[in-house]
Structure 1
Amino acid sequence: MAGTRIDYMELRDLVRELRASTNDSAIQRTTGLNRRTIRRYRAWASQHGLLTGDLPSIEHLAALAHDTLMTPAPPQTVSSLEPFRALALELHAAGVEGVAIRERLRERGFTGSLSAVYRFLAQLTPAQPDVTVRVETPPGQEAQVDFGYAGRMIDPVTGVLRKAWAFVMVLAWSRFMYVEFVWNQSVETWLLLHRHGFEFFGGVPHRVVLDNLKAGVTHADVDDPHIQHAYRECAEHYGFLVAPCRPRTPEHKGKVESGVHFVKRNFLGGRMPTTLTQANHDVLAWCQTTAGQRIHGTTKHVPILQFRATEQAALQALPASPYDLALWKAATVARDCYVVFNQAFYSVPFRFVGQTVHVRGGAADVRIYTTDWQLVATHQRATTAGERLTHPDHLPPTHRPGLLLGREMALDRATVIGPATEQVVRTLLDDTVVDRLRTVGRILQLAERVGAARLEAACVRALCYDAISHQAIKAILAQGLDHEPAPEPPAPPAQTYVRDAHDLLGHLFGGVVWN
């Protein structure tokens, strides 16, 4: 009717009915319109020549109806802000909010409401429709990844229900997906899941789109996102580009968002709790059957057929070996010249004590870098918690002897220096009460200061005077006595003969007389 919103397709159908019949009752039965309404439309159609000749196009009919049937809108009420329009526009352009605008206008005599202010501002910036642009990529170009909460599953080790997460990787062109359930979203788990996904597809996409979760992106930024070190290495190893979404825009990875929802409502929907191992076994079959062989709602194709026919060949080849699951950590070198990584201790050159270093823990080794990425230490990966791996040259020279020296090593070093030094060391180590290893280390360290020849000479002199101690040998060296000729060994004591009481007094008891 006039004055209401008109469906122009229905209007065109009504005009056809009016052209075909003059019986308004019959048209009423067909269209359900009131006969007065039918008569009004018949008069309008006759007035504009629509009952004879060619039926105009829908565009012409819509324009004619808009101009002649629609009742002009009543004039709008003048806004109470109109006298203050110039000031309101100036404040709005400066970014001032509605409440503050009302306060500034009140200072100029405005008496209207806050709602009047908001209505006025709404006319300045009419609402824009929420537009979605669908982006499709070529085969093999893109994969999207995400986590979704999967409810509780049974831990196969403890038998206890635990929270589990579903990792979903979707190939953007074919919509073929890989799903795996895990207990956590750690960096190590994140990297392992990428490896499993690529191996499932038999190839690597050219880029991976992800949300800004910490396992992949340490700092979200539109222009310069900071990619987690291990994830960067993983991307370089497999040859894919990391493409984080803009912060708070999950719709930019809508394909995997839909995939996560499909896993929840189809595979997980109504499923009784099973072990994580069983769930992962079942979901792989589900990916290739239920999920892979359905007709996708958007593409209208079967994902697994699209994958096998086209996308699989467009993926990059897998590297010869899988990525070494390396973890990175920033650590401070402690006063004892060690950093802690995964509950084990690794030595670092003592000059870096107190500094922050980057620690990379691979499957076989641990590497330590300075903040400017200079490699300063490499160790084999510790096998047990609390293990301490040490390179002797990382420790201060003054601390090495007492820390690293053992009995056998001390004897070996003393033997190289000379027989007198060996005798001194052996004598000290043979003490059955006091541990003399530290003293031995200090004596041997004197060779680094004065040379092996002088230490050997000092030990010769110490043995002559039976002065076997660190202080005595150090004093001999300090006074230069090692340069003087070695003293003659003391003469053996005069021979004496000792008889026992039986020999002396035996004759008193009938024994032999002693002469």
Structure 2
Amino acid sequence: MRSVRDIVKYHSMGLSIRKIHDATGVAKSTVADYIKRFKELGLSIEQIDVLDDDALKLQFFPDVASVVVSRKAMPNFNYIHQELKLRKKTKVTLYLLWEEYKEDNPDGYQYTQFRVYYRRFVKKLNPSMRQTHLAGEKMFVDYSGVTMPIHNQRTGEVEYAQIFIAVLGASGYTFVHATPSQKQEDFIYSHVKCYGFFGGVPRVVVPDNLKSAIISNNKNGIVVNESYADLNRHYGVIVNPARPRKPKDKPKAEQGVQAIQRYILARFRHHKFFSVNELNEAIAELLDRYNNKIIKHLQKSRTELFNELDAPYLNPLPANSYTYKQFKIAKVHQDYHISLEKCNYSVPYKYIKEELEVRYSTQSVYIYHKNRLIATHPRLRRVGECSTLHEHMPSKHQYVNESMNPQRVRSWAKNIGEFSSVFVEDIFASVEYPPQAYNKIVAILSLAKLYGNTELELALMYATKHNTTTTKSIRSILDKKLYLSESANNVQPSSHYALFNNHSNIRGADEYK
């Protein structure tokens, strides 16, 4: 249902069906249908946002319509296109060609659909034309092929900073930012800085096809990297990437990159930088000079053009700055936790075995089910850490969690005997998350009620020596009194206690001085 949400949002921003089609890759007819349904529902954008995917689907598609496969003959658009090329001489029109088509195909397409298919055909012919940029509409972004060396003063190593360049289509007003890499986090951070530099947001951003922005861009459609899509949803910007290996789709970016390489980066050829921040400070000084430089054939600077053309038509910045997030689909384990970078986070237990969407930043983890937020956790960093919320547990587990804690379990084991304490410490040491051990510990210590404290102590002494930890095995030791077989071999219990005095979980008298 993501496409429905995006189409409705772009429609509310006043974008045309064609522009929404370009941004989402959804057919114009489908875009028009979704907009029509949205208007009929009479819902606001805020109401749409709070609906989960199931509720939204029920609102937009209450009935499943049957799919009708068209059997109409497709016009020969190669012939039609060639005929139209001669229209100055022959005076032929598209309407006349449609009439001729209908004579041969009475059940063929009507004129409106005929025109739609012809326009699609013409788009595939890839004509080259001069682009006209509307004020405040497009921003072109790219990386310079020329990088800048950064010298590490401590190690002497040299790393190369990447140069991000953004150019507004109408004015050519330019932003430049150096980052350690072209990785997604750096790429998105450059966009945030860029929008702040412009003091507003364009309607469309045209990136190149680097993986930090676009996963795929081919005849099957455009797939935008989810983190990049989230950034542009936050700012209300449409992503319309250039076609692969088609530099004419982004001439402003190509020209901007070349100009920055010559005007700014070339001036640094004899300068040694020791940090990316130092490089950005040097870039900022020259960038103002570049934007204020008079363009000869226009007799105006880029700054003047920006103030006249782009600035008045940029959308305002959101109230809150964007926080970088990553996205992942995670399956809920049987213990109602999901795993994220070797850390575990709980969700309500009813979602066991479900696939959930995880959105996480450097500080927080947000877990969604069908676009509805179901859990929030602070971001964990240590491998094996676990964040479990009490309300996510089944009622039985909530009771155990409330009644059990490591201190209480250790106190119970100490009242039974020394080997019970040792055994409990061994179990705690074998798990990453203490509550995972409670059920096993309770099952074993409860055997003292059936067999007595002394018998359980002897059984755990035997189990520890033979590295046996399962509840079933310890119950078998008690039933068969296996610990007596060692006594029959003239091994006194006292010698066993002496043997275990060296166990890592037993503290001697020196600990309490």
Instruction: Normalising by structure 2, report the TM-score.
Output: 0.53
2:378 paired residue among 360, 377, 380: 380
Whole-angstrom CA distance in 1 between matches of 2:157 and 2:189 = 24
Structure 2: distance between partners of 1:443 and 1:358: 33
Match of 1:216 among 204, 213, 218: 213
- Partner amino acid, structure 2, of 1:231: Y
Preserved contact between residue 142 and residue 166 of structure 2 (Cα < 8 Å): yes
Q: In the alignment, what sits opposite 1:137?
A: 133
Q: How far off is 1:464 after superposition? A: 9.5
Change (3 A) 1:348 1:155: farther
Over the matched positions of the two proteins, sequence identity in percent amounts to: 23
Q: Which residue of 1 is the match for residue 173 of structure 2?
A: 176
Question: Which residue in 1 is equivalent to 2:307?
Answer: 308
The letter for the 1-side match of 2:222 is P
Describe the SS at the equivalent of 2:165.
Answer: strand
Look up the match of 1:320: 319
Which position in structure 1 is the counterpart of 2:161? 164
The match for 2:285 is 285
User: Larger relative contact order (C-alpha < 8 A, sep ≥ 6)?
Assistant: 2
Q: Could you tell me how far 1:273 is from its partner in structure 2?
A: 3.9
Contact preservation (8 Å) 1:428, 1:436: no
In structure 1, the residue corresponding to 2:270 is in which secondary structure? Answer: coil
Residue 218 (structure 1) shift = 0.9
Tell me the distance in 1 between the aligned counterparts of 2:297 and 2:217.
30
Aligned to 1:126: none
CA contact (8 A) 1:144 1:253 kept: yes
- In structure 2, how many angstroms separate the alpha carbons of the residues matched to 1:147 and 1:443? 57
CA distance in 2, matches of 1:374, 1:339: 19
> Do the aligned partners of residues 178 and 431 (structure 1) sit closer, same or farther apart at CA in structure 2, a change above 3 Å counting?
same
- Please give the alpha-carbon distance, in whole angstroms, between the structure 2 residues aligned to 1:146 and 1:474: 69
Q: In structure 2, do the counterparts of structure 1 residues 345 and 137 end up closer, same or farther at CA, with 3 Å as the change threshold?
A: same
The more displaced of 208-217 and 147-156 is 147-156
For residues 79-90 of structure 1, the aligned pairs below 5 Å read: none
Native 8 Å contact 1:154 1:273 kept in 2 = no
What do you get for the CA RMSD once the two structures are aligned?
Answer: 4.5
Aligned to 2:270: 272
Describe the superposition over 1:98-156 as per-residue Cα deviations: whole angstroms up to 9, x where unpaired.
xxxxxxxxxxxxxxxxxxxxxxxxxxxxxxxx974221222211111001133342245
Instruction: Return closer, same or farther for 1:223/1:140 CA change in 2, 3 Å cut-off.
Output: farther
For residue 431 of structure 1, report the CA deviation from its aligned partner: 4.1
Contact kept, 8 Å, 2:217 with 2:244, in 1: the verdict is yes
Q: What amino acid maps onto 1:228 in structure 2?
A: N
Q: Sort the Cα spacing of 1:435 and 1:216 in 2 relative to 1 into closer, same or farther, 3 A.
A: same
The corresponding residue for 1:339 is: 339
Q: Determine which structure has the larger helix proportion and give its number.
A: 2
What residue ranges of structure 1 are gaps of 5+ in the alignment?
1-92, 94-129, 413-421, 448-454, 479-515
Q: Which residue of 435, 449, 457 maps to 2:423?
A: 435
The structure 2 residue matched to 1:194, chosen from 174, 184, 191, is: 191
Structure 1 residue 149 corresponds to structure 2 residue 145: yes
Residue 211 of structure 2 aligns with an amino acid whose one-letter code is K
Q: Which has the larger radius of gyration?
A: 1
Q: Offset at 1:446?
A: 5.5
Q: Indicate if the aligned counterparts of 2:424 and 2:441 stay in contact, CA closer than 8 A.
A: no
Matches within 5 A, 1:57-136: 132-136=128-132
Cα gap change, 1:434/1:277 in structure 2, threshold over 3 Å: closer, same or farther? closer
- Alpha-carbon distance, 1:335 to partner: 9.4
Query: Structure 1: how far apart are the matches of 2:322 and 2:156?
Result: 32
Are 1:238 and 2:231 counterparts? no
Closer/same/farther in 2, CA of residues 327 and 288 from structure 1, 3 Å limit: same
Find 2:259's aligned residue among 251, 262, 278.
262
Question: CA 1:264–1:179 in structure 2 vs 1: closer, same or farther (change >3 Å)?
Answer: same
TM-score by length of 1: 0.52
CA drift at 1:180: 0.8
